[in-house]
Amino acid sequence: MSVISMARYSKKFSQLYDEVMYLPDTIFLKIRRKRLLKGLAGKILEVGVGTGTNFQHYSNNSEVVGIEPSPYMFAKAENRKNRLPFPNRFTLHNIGCGDSEMKDLIQPESLDAVVCTLVLCTIPEPEKALSSFMKWLKPGGRLVVLEHIRAHRLAGMKIQNLFNPVWEKLAEGCQLNRATDILLAESGFELVRENRFWLGMPFYEAELKKAGKDT
């Protein structure tokens, strides 16, 4: 696929994303997003804000720094932010969590929480991302995640492995078979709570924290 064709597809993908996700978000995921985010306060980094689906769920006590590498998703997120009652609580940046600009944007132990919803499946080096989150969070700071994960049964794994090459291209680099729950368990974060559920594929919802005094 040429660079121009990829850019056109990325633009179309962002245009259709909210429509494609409307039913699963409305029926299944919205309540989980709200549960994960409503208790967060202070300085929060949301990684991969997409079109800004999470914005409505943050409390009035939060200051959200959002990053999004797709310029098309970023534009939609900016529009959604500007329609919020208090848009000044959100600062958005068109970058990814592995970009060099993050060194100046987020200082070590400066965050009260990091939010990842349907994004760890697309990050090229998730282990490095989790290490960065650990560095950026204050002691006791929270990492909250809502992600689809690799199946635990062999039959499910084989199906995911079979479809992943096509899925990756259609879904802008999303890895259908990434074992994010295992990566999190090995990341050094302390588990606060977790929940596994099924939505056409296995999903994982969890709250974790960095060791130390709660913020």
Domain annotation covers residue 104? yes
Q: Picking from 42-51, 128-137, 163-172, 176-185, which range would have the lowest pLDDT averaged per residue? A: 163-172
Domain annotation covers residue 157? yes
Is a pLDDT exceeding 70 seen at residue 211? yes
Which residues are within 8 A (CB) of 125 and not within 5 positions of it... i.e. 6 or more apart?
98
In percent, the amount of the chain with pLDDT more than 90 equals: 82
pLDDT of residue 4: 54
Domain annotation covers residue 214? no
Domain annotation covers residue 48? yes
Domain annotation covers residue 151? yes
pLDDT of residue 1: 53
Q: Can you give the CATH number for the domain in which 192 is found?
A: 3.40.50.150
- Find the helix or strand (DSSP H, E) in which 141 lies: strand 137-148
Domain annotation covers residue 178? yes
pLDDT of residue 8: 82
Domain annotation covers residue 215? no
C-alpha pair distances (Å), 106 with each of 75, 125, 135, 196, 200: 22, 19, 10, 31, 36
pLDDT of residue 172: 87
Is a pLDDT exceeding 90 seen at residue 15? no
Convert the pLDDT of each residue in 70-91 to its tens digit.
999 999 999 999 999 999 999 9
DSSP, collapsed to helix, strand or coil, labels residue 146 as strand
Convert the pLDDT of each residue in 131-169 to its tens digit.
999 999 999 999 999 999 999 999 999 999 999 999 998
What domain range includes position 204? 3-209
Convert the pLDDT of each residue in 23-42 to its tens digit.
989 889 999 999 999 999 99
Cα 138 from chain centroid (whole Å): 19
Is a pLDDT exceeding 90 seen at residue 5? no
pTM: 0.94
Residue reference for tokens 């989150």: 133
Q: How many domains does the chain have?
A: 1
